[in-house]
Structure formats: C-alpha cells, structure tokens
C-alpha cells in the first residue's frame, strides 16, 4: 500500500504506517462530511503524548481530575490516569454499536462490557463537579451529568443519535458504570482546551493532567483501540445483527462513526473546527 497523501488547500499529510494510514482515511472521510479541516500536530502538543497505561477508557475532555472532597476541601488528583480517550469514554462504543446494529441500550451496554472484559480493558467515562460549584462528596456520588458529550446527546445536540439515544439512556450509562465498578472520575474546573487532536499511534495517549498543569489543555481521541473494540463486539452479534458485514467492515464503520461522534461533540460545544492529526513520522 502506498503512503496516503491528501492533496488540497490543507497541509499535506503523508503516512507510511499502513494501520495508521487506514485510520486516517476513515477519519478524513468523516471529518470532511462534518466540515472539519485537518492539520499536522503542533510540536508542543506532541510533548504531552505518552504510553497508554490502560487505566480505563476515558473521555476526550481536557479538564483535570478531582480526587475527592475532604472536610469540604477539594483534593486534586495527582496520579497517572492514562487510558485510551474516546468521546464520552466507553459510551461512544455503546452508542455507535446501537447505530450499527439496532440493538437496544441494555443490550449495547452488555455487548460492550463483554468486549472490554475480553480485551482486559476497564470501561469508563466521567462526571464533573459542575465547574467547581459542587462542594460535597455526597453530591458527587449521586451526580449523573458533567460529560459534555453525553449531556449534549441527552439534549439532542448530536444529530447522529437523535431518535436513537434518549436522556434516560444517558443517565442509565452513569448508573451502569457505577454498578459494574467502572471508572467514573470527577473532572473539575472550566474547559480551557485550545485544540482538538486525533491520535493514530497505538498504545499512546495524551497526558491530560500534565497538560492541565502546564496550561496546555486539548481535546484528544485515540483511534487505534477502536478496531479491537469493534471486532470484539462484532464477534458476539447474532448473524442477523451482523447484517452481512465482515469484521473488518464493521470495524471501519465504527471508526468512522466514533470520529463523527467526536466531531459533532466539538461542534455542539463550540470547540475547535480544525483537527490536528498525530501519526508516526
């Protein structure tokens, strides 16, 4: 396969690695449909990418993490939380599985859970502290909102999910994560993200905590993990739900739709409309 070259008024992107090239082709198709431009990653942003420690699937959100409240005082998280990033965390896999297979919410949750368990990856997303206005641990333990992606879906803000995912589905996902012992950290403060990136390099992700400390927050999504998720979901589907597709085609479609989820989230949140692409050079 020859290197992928995108020739337009946008900067040229040449990718040698075949897996990364395929991911880029799928992402490029969706970005074009959603009206996004794309450009190579800024050098400064590159310095915040590091190895993925598989701490649980997390959201593209660029805010810092709150550990807990102690006697009413917020304690900021200082650990390393470096699981793969997807829009709405694990919920993008649940939502796209529903779109591609027509299963109902609880079935999609169960399919996704079994797929991640088979891969040894913990499901996760997050809530928030209402941008610093929540002041007690008790309030946080019952909170079901705070993820911009999921909150927008609940309000009908992402066109791709209208008529499929309801506000009650979104609430059920938070309760489901708590019930199964998934990762549900609390993010804190206001959004300060100055860019949006698509990472094509496997087993790497963005060090959000380090970037927040440096004042360099961004949105980021890690695409290489998606085909593995998709194939693990596909292998559980009854024949009628596979709809004549191969595992490879199903994986391609899931990559495209997760990128659409990310793009529509950025639009709904008035975020960046240029996607910076990270690949191995």
Q: Pick the residue with more confidence: 77 or 32?
A: 32
pLDDT digits (tens, 9 = 90+) for 175-217: 999 999 999 999 988 899 999 999 999 999 999 989 998 999 9
Cα separation, 150 vs 173, in Å, equals 9
pLDDT digits (tens, 9 = 90+) for 216-232: 999 999 999 999 999 99
CA distances from 78 to 8, 51, 56, 57, 260 (A): 43, 17, 17, 18, 32
Given a contact cutoff of 8 angstroms between Cβ atoms, the answer to whether 153 and 137 are in contact is no
Q: Is the pLDDT of residue 99 over 90?
A: yes
Q: Is the pLDDT of residue 149 over 70?
A: yes
How confident is the model at residue 29, as a pLDDT? 97
Strands 196-199 and 219-222, sheet pairing? parallel
How confident is the model at residue 131, as a pLDDT? 83
Q: Is the pLDDT of residue 76 over 70?
A: no
How confident is the model at residue 55, as a pLDDT? 76
pLDDT band per the 50, 70, 90 thresholds, residue 133: confident
pLDDT digits (tens, 9 = 90+) for 48-64: 999 886 678 999 999 98
The residue extents of the domains of the chain are 14-82+90-278
How confident is the model at residue 98, as a pLDDT? 97
Strands 4-5 and 14-15, sheet pairing? antiparallel
Query: Residue 198 forms beta bridges with which residues?
Result: 221, 277
Q: Is the pLDDT of residue 2 over 50?
A: no
Question: By percentage, how much of the chain surpasses pLDDT 90?
Answer: 79
How confident is the model at residue 1, as a pLDDT? 39
- Prediction pTM value: 0.93
Q: Which range, of 148-152, 181-185, 272-276, averages the lowest pLDDT?
A: 181-185
Given a contact cutoff of 8 angstroms between Cβ atoms, the answer to whether 31 and 275 are in contact is yes
How confident is the model at residue 68, as a pLDDT? 64
Given a contact cutoff of 8 angstroms between Cβ atoms, the answer to whether 256 and 26 are in contact is yes
pLDDT band per the 50, 70, 90 thresholds, residue 66: confident
């Amino acid at each position: 396969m020859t290197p992928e070259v995108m020739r337009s008024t946008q900067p040229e992107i040449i990718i040698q690695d075949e897996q990364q090239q395929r991911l880029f082709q799928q992402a490029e198709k969706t970005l074009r449909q959603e009206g996004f431009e794309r450009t190579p990653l800024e050098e400064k942003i590159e310095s915040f990418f590091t190895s993925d420690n598989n701490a649980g699937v997390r959201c593209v959100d660029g805010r810092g993490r709150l550990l807990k409240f102690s006697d009413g005082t917020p304690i900021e998280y200082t650990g390393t939380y470096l699981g793969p990033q997807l829009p709405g965390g694990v919920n993008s896999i649940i939502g796209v599985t529903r779109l591609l297979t027509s299963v109902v919410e609880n079935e999609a949750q169960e399919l996704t859970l079994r797929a991640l368990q088979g891969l040894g990856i913990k499901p996760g997303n997050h809530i928030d502290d209402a941008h610093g206005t929540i002041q007690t641990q008790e309030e946080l333990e019952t909170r079901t909102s705070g993820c911009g992606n999921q909150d927008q879906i609940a309000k009908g803000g992402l066109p791709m999910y209208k008529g499929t995912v309801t506000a009650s589905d979104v609430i059920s996902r938070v309760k489901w994560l708590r019930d199964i012992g998934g990762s549900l950290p609390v993010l804190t403060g206001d959004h300060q993200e100055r860019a949006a990136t698509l990472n094509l390099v496997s087993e790497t992700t963005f060090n959000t905590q380090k970037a927040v400390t440096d004042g360099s927050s961004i949105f980021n999504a890690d695409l290489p993990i998606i085909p593995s998720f998709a194939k693990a979901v596909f292998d559980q589907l009854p024949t009628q739900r596979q709809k004549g597709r191969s595992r490879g085609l199903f994986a391609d479609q899931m990559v495209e739709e997760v990128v659409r989820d990310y793009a529509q989230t950025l639009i709904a949140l008035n975020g960046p409309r240029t996607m910076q692409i990270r690949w191995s050079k």
